Amino acid sequence: AGDPWAECFEAAVQLALRAGQIIRKALTEEKRVSTKTSAADLVTETDHLVEDLIISELRERFPSHRFIAEEAAASGAKCVLTPSPTWIIDPIDGTCNFVHRFPTVAVSIGFAVHQELEFGVIYHCTEERLYTGQRGRGAFCNGQRLQVSKETDLAKALVLTEIGPRRDPATLKLFLSNMERLLHARAHGVRVIGSSTLALCHLAAGAADAYYQFGLHCWDLAAATVIIREAGGIVMDTSGGPLDLMSCRVVAAGTPEMATLVAQALQTIHYGRDDEK
Ligand code: IPD
């Protein structure tokens, strides 16, 4: 069947590659760093430059489409997912890595229509790996089909998470105790790589068995969700219910059994919603 969003998907791929080139070059240069919601929530000129590039090109080609993007949201733009075709963009995911030249940095471009995610494109800028997923058409990394792990036993799992922006004692305590709970349940390991989107791509590729996080945003999740689902995986709410893209929390896994075990082990960290800020 014809894909009504093929042209949009191609545009996303081209822009992710172009943005990736800019980010790769900027990685080794001096940066001006500012903070947003906390001392650990960073932004640079390159985040703004890349976001402006992606949005201006897409707006020109698709003038009726809407946009949700990380730096626009930081400047007060509302995050509302309407039925209109909507681009959900993180210009640099792993900004803290980018600032420190830690080579785990991505561009993430998701696309939703009628509140349903249609495709996702995530570009690992330094390793030049392009992850893509299109609803009903599979997930790929540089043309190779992705397949999630089939592991159902938490005691045999490699679990990924991210810390999230807050560093207040109560949040840190909950974050560490969630990690402790998974280690008590005898997970093989818990990893924090500094980029939600790339951690989720590792899950899609079967290089880890589960992912969970509190405090991520819709632009960290949109593209990756399509990629994981198309690789055969599960993306859901930490309560065990269906995913809510705006809820700032997620559990993802290769199997429903694994996702449920991880969700049951977690205590909730309340971050509020993206669409209520
Ligand atoms: C952040 C990173 C970080 C995760 C945060 C994300 P950014 O994205 O993925 O690892 O803990 O939740 O918001 O700010 O670098 O685009």
Indicate the residue among 85, 111, 145 that finishes a domain: 145
Whether residues 75 and 180 fall in one domain: no
Instruction: Report the DSSP pairing between strands 144-145 and 138-141.
Output: antiparallel
CATH code for the domain in which residue 225 is found: 3.40.190.80
pLDDT reported for residue 137: 98
Query: How far is the centre of ligand 1, averaged over its atoms, from the C-alpha of 2 (Å)?
Result: 35
Whether residues 91 and 174 fall in one domain: no
Q: What is the mean pLDDT of the chain?
A: 97
Whether residues 109 and 162 fall in one domain: no
Q: Per this entry, what is the length of the chain?
A: 277
Query: Known binder of ligand: residue 275?
Result: no
pLDDT reported for residue 121: 99
Indicate the residue among 145, 176, 193 that finishes a domain: 145
CATH code for the domain in which residue 12 is found: 3.30.540.10
pLDDT reported for residue 277: 81
pLDDT in tens, 75-104: 999 999 999 999 999 999 999 999 999 999
User: Does some domain include residue 200?
Assistant: yes
> What share of the chain has pLDDT > 70, as a percent?
100
Whether residues 130 and 167 fall in one domain: no
Q: Does residue 1 surpass a pLDDT of 80?
A: no
pLDDT reported for residue 114: 98
- Distance, in Å, from the CA atom of 5 to the CA atom of 36, rounded to the nearest integer, reads 34
pLDDT reported for residue 2: 87
Query: Known binder of ligand: residue 70?
Result: yes
pLDDT in tens, 149-188: 999 999 999 999 999 999 999 999 999 999 999 999 999 9
For residue 113, give the nearest of 134, 156, 139, 82 by alpha carbon: 82
User: Does some domain include residue 1?
Assistant: no
Whether residues 159 and 238 fall in one domain: yes
- Distance, in Å, from the CA atom of 238 to the CA atom of 231, rounded to the nearest integer, reads 20
Whether residues 136 and 208 fall in one domain: no
Query: Known binder of ligand: residue 209?
Result: no
Whether residues 115 and 193 fall in one domain: no
User: Does some domain include residue 206?
Assistant: yes
Ligand 1 pocket test: pick from 97, 179, 213, 216 the residue with the most ligand atoms within 8 Å of its Cβ: 216
Whether residues 220 and 249 fall in one domain: yes
Rounded to an integer, the average pLDDT of 265-269 is 98
Q: What is the span of the domain harbouring residue 230?
A: 154-276
Which residue has the CA at smallest separation from atom 8 of ligand 1?
93
Indicate the residue among 128, 145, 162 that finishes a domain: 145
Q: Would you tell me how many other CB atoms lie within 10 Å of the CB of residue 7?
A: 11
Helix (H, G, I), strand (E, B) or coil at 29: coil
Q: Residue 199: pLDDT band by 50, 70, 90 thresholds? A: very high
Q: Would you tell me how many other CB atoms lie within 10 Å of the CB of residue 158?
A: 17
pLDDT reported for residue 181: 98
ipTM: 0.93
Which protein residues are within 6 Å of ligand 1, measured from CB? 70, 90, 92-95, 162-164, 194-196, 215-217, 220
158-161 β-sheet, strand order: 189-191, 158-161, 210-214, 249-253, 234-236
Strands annotated E in 162-239: 189-191, 210-214, 234-236
Query: How far is the centre of ligand 1, averaged over its atoms, from the C-alpha of 261 (Å)?
Result: 24
User: Does some domain include residue 23?
Assistant: yes
How many Cα atoms occupy the beta-carbon half-sphere of 10 within 13 Å?
A: 7
User: Domain total for the chain?
Assistant: 2
pLDDT reported for residue 163: 97
Whether residues 24 and 71 fall in one domain: yes
